[in-house]
Amino acid sequence: MITLKNIYKIYENGDTTTYASNNVSINIEKGEFVAIVGQSGSGKSTIMNIIGCLDVPTSGTYLLNNVDVSTMDDNELAEIRNKMLGFIFQQYNLIPKLNVMENVELPLLYAGLKPEERHERAMESIKRVGLLGKEKNHPSQLSGGQQQRVSIARALAGNPSVILADEPTGALDSRTGREVLEFLQKLNSEGNTIVLITHDNSIAKSANRIIRLHDGKVVYDGPSDVAEATVQAHVSFDEDPLLNSKEGGNET
Amino acid sequence: MSIWQCFIMAFKSLSTSKMRSLLTMLGIIIGVGAVIVIMALGNGMTVYMNDSFAAMGTTNISVNISGRGSSRTVDVDDMYEFYDENSDLFNYISPTVSAMAQVRGEDNEIYTPSIMGVSEQYLDIKDYDLSSGENIRYLDIAQNKKVCVVGAFYDHTVYSGNAVGQNIKINGENYLIIGAVEEQDDKTDENSIDNFIYVPYSTAARYLARNTTISSYTLVVNSDENVSQGIKTIKNRLYETFNSDDYYNVSSLTEILDIMNEMMDTMILILAAIAAISLVVGGIGIMNIMLVSVTERTREIGIRKALGAKGKHIRTQFVVEAATTSALGGIIGILTGIGLSTAVSKLLQAAMEVDITAIPTATSIFVSFGISVAIGIIFGYLPANKAAKLNPIEALRHD
């Protein structure tokens, strides 16, 4: 489903050259729940932007549903994002002046659906996240957890191939954060492919597979239950205080 | 995504910040309002002017002959002959001889009215009716009789209602008042148009005018459409005699009215163009606010792009928003303009007793609405394009 082959993302700034992605190759199958983990500066945002079709690699190939998207232009990428990807952001990224219904309808609007169909699908999506009856509310009238569920509903509305969750629990307290993760696991059990991007190992453990990035390179790719040992190895190597907190935190 | 969707979004966006939207529209409102009022006032004045001219007789043609020596001339008999030959074109003719003279009435006061030597048809030309007495007759003209028809000022004020049958002294000589004309002005005083005396043209030429030759005529064509034909026919006749067009002058109120209308139109156009400058200023105001709006809503644009909005979607959204703003401003401006026009008409009628009705023209309404929409689209394009070109990653990171 997602195939990244020898992805490089190189930024040149004067005479310094930064390898934000350095020969990254990842393969994700349909129905997987993968966490991409890494500290800040590890290149996980770059990989997320590339997987999310918000950016294109400097070199390498990215096949999404067997379509090469690595050389597409902005408008083609917009269409791919609209049809194949659902985004869940850390800051929810709801549009404040639109109500819940209108927010969830947004991707369907750009897909060119008719109003009735849009409405129906948005409603179904809102029902799935358990916010029925809140359609007319504005984001400011909802709690953080509810807002994140609206953004999940929005991600689901377009019926995407992949759901990309970027630090989905980052702005939530640990209890609601757990609820969101459980909901993602439920979605995965229903057959959705989910890619979770986080710096927090404890959160990454909700996924079945962990891909760890460091300095733009993949340093671990395997089941989440054996990832612990490699974390320790790297922490002692990097002396990264963030990774030392085993409980994970709500750092935002 | 349809344009209709964009409209709904635009209205939502405008209604969330009503004060700002109103201020953004202000330039357009003032511009459109001013254009409408100016066009309406101009239109009202043109109508008023045309009406006034119509009252003065747009079918009248004045002929002035300066003459070329004594051998070549067109005299009264020639003109009457010409008039009879063209009876299918002309309704009336009267030679006109103006004279300046001192007049002493029964009250021994001295007046200086407009004294005109005219034919028996002159009252028909002026469309005046007699209130008492009778008109000048052909016999009076043929015999150079010292008789006159007076305006209401003499009948009412100088002779206190019984002027007919009495004498009036013009340049010291007695003239018999044979008729009095109905009053033509609300205030019948010395400065009104009711202060006139008509005498037979032959009498005027002989006793009252400096120049004894009759050289001016008023002819009336039978319809407005025949004015230019009438002028042409007269000119042809006069050219036959003089072989040059330097010795006579033929003109009509219609010609003058046409020139005045043309000047009026030019003036309105210039004034409207000045008012339209404020439309451009309004457009720049819209562009300014839209640029601010794009910066403020960078994150929203990022979200929309992440969810699959293409550049054209974002561009359309902002252009439609700008166009909606200016169109709404245009509508408010049109309503303001119509209201102001009515108010100005009322004010003119009340304060200056001038019956000018400022009617906003349908053209000015449609054109100014169209221009305001166009301004929104033109000045909205730059900010909209800026929004459309935003990088979604950076836009999402924006606070």
pLDDT at B349 over 90: no
Residue type, A192: N
DSSP H/E element including B138? helix B138-142
- Residue B1's pLDDT is what? 64
Structure confidence by residue, pLDDT tens digits, B127-166: 899 999 999 999 999 999 999 999 999 988 888 888 899 9
Among A74, A79, A166, the residue to mutate for chain B (most B Cβ within 10 A): A74
ipTM for the predicted complex = 0.88
A210, A204 in Cβ contact below 8 A?
A: yes
Interface touch A78/B16, C-beta < 8 Å: no
Structure confidence by residue, pLDDT tens digits, B173-197: 999 999 999 988 777 778 888 899 9
Residues 6+ apart with CB under 8 A from A115: none
Interface touch B16/A97, C-beta < 8 Å: yes
Q: For B28, phi and psi rounded to 5 degrees?
A: -65, -45
Structure confidence by residue, pLDDT tens digits, B211-251: 778 889 999 998 888 888 899 999 999 998 888 888 889 98
- Residue B70's pLDDT is what? 65
Structure confidence by residue, pLDDT tens digits, B369-384: 999 999 999 999 999 9
DSSP letter at A43 equals S
Least Cα separation, residue B4 to chain A (angstroms): 11
- Residue B228's pLDDT is what? 86
Structure confidence by residue, pLDDT tens digits, B355-371: 788 888 888 899 889 99
A158, A140 in Cβ contact below 8 A?
A: no
Interface touch B308/A158, C-beta < 8 Å: yes
Q: For A12, phi and psi rounded to 5 degrees?
A: -110, 125
Label each residue of B220-264 as H, E or C: EECCHHHHHHHHHHHHHHHHHHHCCCCCEEEEEHHHHHHHHHHHH
DSSP letter at A111 equals T
User: CA B269, CA A25: separation in Å to the nearest integer?
Assistant: 70
Closest CA to A243 of A212, A207, A208: A212
- Residue B252's pLDDT is what? 87
Least Cα separation, residue A213 to chain B (angstroms): 20
- Residue B308's pLDDT is what? 93
CA atoms within 13 A on the CB side of B309: 27
The partner residue sitting opposite B307, judged by closest CB among A55, A82, A97, is A82
β-bridge mates for residue B221, sequence order: B90
Token pair of B373 as six digits: 């929409």
Residues 6+ apart with CB under 8 A from B240: none
β-bridge mates for residue A50, sequence order: none
DSSP letter at A71 equals T
β-bridge mates for residue A150, sequence order: none
Among B307, B313, B385, the residue to mutate for chain A (most A Cβ within 10 A): B307
A96, A40 in Cβ contact below 8 A?
A: no
Interface touch A110/B12, C-beta < 8 Å: no
Torsion of CA B307, B312, B317, B322, to 10 degrees: 150
A66, A29 in Cβ contact below 8 A?
A: no
Least Cα separation, residue A156 to chain B (angstroms): 11
- Residue A13's pLDDT is what? 87
C-alpha dist (Å) from residue A108 to A127, B158, B219, B385, B396:
16, 92, 79, 23, 20
Least Cα separation, residue B287 to chain A (angstroms): 22
Give me the residues of chain A with pLDDT under 70, please.
227-252
Q: Is A59 left (phi over 0), alpha (psi -120 to 50) or beta?
A: beta
Domain ranges across chain B: 3-54+259-397, 59-254
Structure confidence by residue, pLDDT tens digits, A144-173: 999 999 999 999 999 999 999 999 998 889
Q: How confident is the model at residue B71 (pLDDT cuts 50, 70, 90)?
A: low
- Residue A227's pLDDT is what? 58
A170, A249 in Cβ contact below 8 A?
A: no
User: CA A36, CA A198: separation in Å to the nearest integer?
Assistant: 6
DSSP letter at B338 equals H
User: CA B379, CA B91: separation in Å to the nearest integer?
Assistant: 60
Structure confidence by residue, pLDDT tens digits, B22-52: 999 999 999 999 999 998 988 888 888 888 8
- Residue B148's pLDDT is what? 94
User: CA A42, CA A214: separation in Å to the nearest integer?
Assistant: 5
Q: Where are the beta strands (DSSP E) in chain B?
A: 60-65, 90-95, 97-99, 103-104, 110-111, 114-118, 130-133, 147-150, 167-170, 173-181, 196-200, 216-221, 248-252
Interface touch A95/B303, C-beta < 8 Å: yes
B344, B45 in Cβ contact below 8 A?
A: no
* Residue A97 sits at the chain B interface (C-beta within 8 Å): yes
* Chain B residues inside the 8 Å CB shell of A98: 12
Token pair of B56 as six digits: 């003065």
Token pair of B320 as six digits: 């439609």
Q: Where are the beta strands (DSSP E) in A127-241?
A: 162-166, 193-198, 209-214, 217-223
**Average pLDDT of chain B to the nearest whole number:** 89
The partner residue sitting opposite A54, judged by closest CB among B5, B309, B392, is B392
